[in-house]
Structure 1
């Protein structure tokens, strides 16, 4: 995942898939060595896009080129079947063959490509060694831990020397501790991968750690793309704001003031004019039981609607002129005697908000 300049796109796709109640229309490009994460709510089209890239779901329009080779174009009646595409897939539940050893699971792909058995098994042994699983070569999937099975699945996908690696929620089946270790290992392997990798995930941390670029999909269309830092700093939909843990509002800016459609105003430190977003983290919100004397230029009345433990903080959901989330310590929640239905005052300093063009 180098930041050096790269040649033109190795992946060039316009994925159009029409179904009875859903339509996907997604343009997707990636340079050699680039890791792209597809993010979006359930039903957004992420898995549909992945299946289309793999050749498991035919396009109804658009095209798919990989390293300049046209793999699919319905208008030209071109459709390379899945088994003929230089694509490796790691599925969410790994789909390892239960009756084969780890070694033979990894050797399966090279054997299907016509390589002799001895050569395929030697290459599989090399991949297992790279994954730190040389001692588990004879073990069948049922006796592997979740982390070990994930690494065998990754080795099997890489053993076919793919030009496109597809990862479908690759860490979703792991417990929190194993996930941390395997995420770090996966990052290292992706950094060494010279072709294109496309990752589908619901987990923002997986996306932020593993991907060079995020593509956010909602209702079958891209709504935002950019580096993890860009997307986290300037979310453009409520889904993305929740994903990265921000309160987000859209209104019209006049100087350092943004007015929302209902007339509620937010003071910021940025000078803007025209349609704008304003975002701030829940940690920027301070709560009071009585109207405070504060220098904060943003002050609203609110009502507590929910309390939820969020790491070592309590996430307080607030309704009122400006619905928002606030993060407080458990001690602060106890001191304020917060509970659903309690009336509070909420303040946010202008310096802790971030305004940007909509």
Structure 2
């Protein structure tokens, strides 16, 4: 088996080995996932891509149309969901509102046959590991969003699953809490000895929490690899937007990539054949008049289609010879008198582009 990033893998006797095929009306999910014990895999993709369907299939909540689902060499697709060694943390946590944090966590071990005393002892241990020992007697309505999330993770881990599934685990948190809980979750996942699969549409969650990203679009895997590999080698417009790059496809001849639609781009990379070329919006320099002394090898006449605040900068959406985005300071945007419809010249140095095989 060969991954899209060129990594060769075999059939796994430990960990996750899944080929998930699910038909739902006109939508078809067809995704292959493999992961070794200790791996954290993030399923990343736009809304409607099939991420949640894949998670539900792994949990046994969506039956497979075909394919297979093996965990540590055992077929799971023939087992009822409640019998699977799988823990799930849902987006809204789904804690039992009438139970304390302790009894929420103890619920799983009780369902697996532990006595009430044993289950509560295990739950107390997990709450302590999550830094929630002082909140054992609190019911969910008295917990903050971050505390509820940690109770949900503890409840999932208390059954000692061989597969941990997390569905947008940070989506319900405000920005400040999210930063803190993301760091805590990263630590807990690093200590988890089995397979963890995280579903998210947030690239930062995926980059921070996962060892490997699997990008799904329209029900299919379009790219997979380490976060650093994908950030540097996006293969679709969706991924390029996530990692903040302008991305084009064409045919390389030496240091020139002739685009399928548009002009050529000069790069310092030397290639031959189908290629992608990418560069960040910050690499773009804008002029109102055609520059005469610029050392940039790439020069295009464009028009401002739109402007928006992007962090502490202004992001310009440009159309024309080469549609692209450019980042510039507020002062630079004011000095250039940028506004929708304004003509501009855009330059990018060859040294700031990156070309790679398509």
TM-score higher than 0.5: yes
Give the match for residue 63 of structure 2.
58
Distance in 1, Cα, partners of 2:139 & 2:331: 50
Pairing of 1:24-103 with structure 2 (within 5 A): 24-72=29-77, 79-103=78-102
CA contact (8 A) 2:262 2:321 kept: no
Give the match for residue 312 of structure 2.
312
Distance in 2, Cα, partners of 1:331 & 1:112: 62
Pairing of 1:165-314 with structure 2 (within 5 A): 165-293=164-292, 294-314=294-314
Distance in 2, Cα, partners of 1:160 & 1:97: 17
TM-superposed CA distance for 1:262, in Å, is 3.1
Aligned residues, how many?
346
CA contact (8 A) 2:262 2:322 kept: no
Distance in 2, Cα, partners of 1:193 & 1:116: 25
Greater alpha carbon shift after TM alignment, 271-280 vs 324-333:
324-333
What is the Cα-based RMSD across aligned positions, in Å? Answer: 0.9
Secondary structure of the residue that 1:205 maps to in structure 2?
Answer: helix
> 1:257-312 CA deviation, whole Å, 9 max, x = no partner?
00112351100001111100000001100111111120100011111111111111
Secondary structure of the residue that 1:276 maps to in structure 2?
Answer: strand
Give the match for residue 75 of structure 1.
none
> 1:203-254 CA deviation, whole Å, 9 max, x = no partner?
1011001000000011111100000000110000000000100000000110
Normalised TM-score (structure 2):
0.95
| Structure 1 alignment gaps of length 5 or more | 1-6, 73-78
CA contact (8 A) 1:9 1:29 kept: no
Normalised TM-score (structure 1):
0.95
| Structure 2 alignment gaps of length 5 or more | 1-11
Query: Deviation above 3 Å: which 4+ runs of structure 1?
Result: none
Matched, 1:350 2:350: yes
* Residues 308, 9 of structure 1: alpha-carbon distance in 2 compared, 3 angstrom cutoff: farther
TM-superposed CA distance for 1:169, in Å, is 0.3
> 1:151-180 CA deviation, whole Å, 9 max, x = no partner?
010000000100000000000111111100
TM-superposed CA distance for 1:334, in Å, is 1.3
TM-superposed CA distance for 1:9, in Å, is 4.4
Secondary structure of the residue that 1:154 maps to in structure 2?
Answer: helix
